[in-house]
Structure 1
Amino acid sequence: MIELKNVNMNFRGNQTLKDINLTIEQGEIMVIIGPSGSGKSTLLRMIIGLLKPTSGEVWVNNREITQMPEDELNKIRLEMGMVFQYSALFDSMTVGENVAFGLRQHSDMPEEEIWRTVRRKLRMVGLRGKENAMPNELSGGMKKRVSLARAIAIDPHIVLYDEPTAGLDPIMSNTIDRLIVSTRRMIRATSVVVTHDMSSAFSIADRIAMIYGGSIIEIGTPDVIKQSENPIVAKFIRGATALPESKGRSRA
Structure 2
Amino acid sequence: MIKLINVNMNFRGKEILKDISLTIEQGEIMVIIGPSGSGKSTLLRLIIGLLQPTAGEVWVNGREISHMNEDELNKIRLEMGMVFQYSALFDSMSVGENVAFGLRQHTAMPEEEIARTVRRKLRMVGLRGQENAMPNELSGGMKKRVSLARAIAINPHIVLYDEPTAGLDPIMSNTIDRLIVSTRRMIDATSVVVTHDMASAFSIADRIAMIYGGGIVEIGTPAMIKQSENPIVAKFIRGATGIAENRGRSRA
TM-superposed CA distance for 1:29, in Å, is 0.1
Q: Write the letter of the residue equivalent to 2:166.
A: A
- Show the counterpart of 2:249: none
- Show the counterpart of 1:2: 2
- Show the counterpart of 2:44: 44
In 2: Cα distance, 1:51 partner to 1:99 partner: 25
- Show the counterpart of 2:156: 156
- Show the counterpart of 1:168: 168
In 1: Cα distance, 2:106 partner to 2:168 partner: 31
In 1: Cα distance, 2:147 partner to 2:167 partner: 15
- Show the counterpart of 2:24: 24
- Show the counterpart of 1:131: 131
- Show the counterpart of 1:243: none
Q: Write the letter of the residue equivalent to 2:134.
A: M
Deviations 1:25-69 (A, max 9, x none): 000000000000000000000000000000000000000001112
Q: Write the letter of the residue equivalent to 1:89.
A: L
In 1: Cα distance, 2:192 partner to 2:2 partner: 10
In 2: Cα distance, 1:115 partner to 1:45 partner: 30
- Show the counterpart of 1:74: 74
TM-superposed CA distance for 1:239, in Å, is 1.1
- Show the counterpart of 1:247: none
In 1: Cα distance, 2:59 partner to 2:29 partner: 17
> Aligned with 1:52: secondary structure?
coil
- Show the counterpart of 2:119: 119
In 1: Cα distance, 2:145 partner to 2:46 partner: 24
> Aligned with 1:209: secondary structure?
strand
TM-superposed CA distance for 1:238, in Å, is 1.0
> Aligned with 1:109: secondary structure?
coil
Q: Write the letter of the residue equivalent to 1:167.
A: G
- Show the counterpart of 1:212: 212
In 1: Cα distance, 2:169 partner to 2:69 partner: 42
In 1: Cα distance, 2:151 partner to 2:33 partner: 22
Unpaired runs of at least 5, structure 1: 241-252
Identity in percent = 90
> Aligned with 2:224: secondary structure?
helix
TM-superposed CA distance for 1:220, in Å, is 0.2
Unpaired runs of at least 5, structure 2: 241-252
TM-superposed CA distance for 1:140, in Å, is 0.1
- Could you state the TM-score of these two structures normalised by the residue count of structure 2? 0.95
TM-superposed CA distance for 1:13, in Å, is 1.0
Following TM superposition, the consecutive aligned residue runs of length 4 or more in structure 1 with deviations greater than 3 angstroms are none
- Show the counterpart of 1:203: 203
- Show the counterpart of 2:243: none
Q: Write the letter of the residue equivalent to 1:67.
A: H
In 1: Cα distance, 2:168 partner to 2:236 partner: 21
> Aligned with 2:16: secondary structure?
strand
The CA RMSD over aligned residues, in Å, is 0.6
In 1: Cα distance, 2:193 partner to 2:27 partner: 13
How many residues end up aligned between the 2 structures? 240
- Show the counterpart of 1:249: none
In 1: Cα distance, 2:69 partner to 2:178 partner: 37
- Show the counterpart of 1:108: 108
- Could you state the TM-score of these two structures normalised by the residue count of structure 1? 0.95
Deviations 1:173-227 (A, max 9, x none): 0000000000000000000000000000000000000000100000000000000
TM-superposed CA distance for 1:3, in Å, is 0.1
- Show the counterpart of 1:145: 145
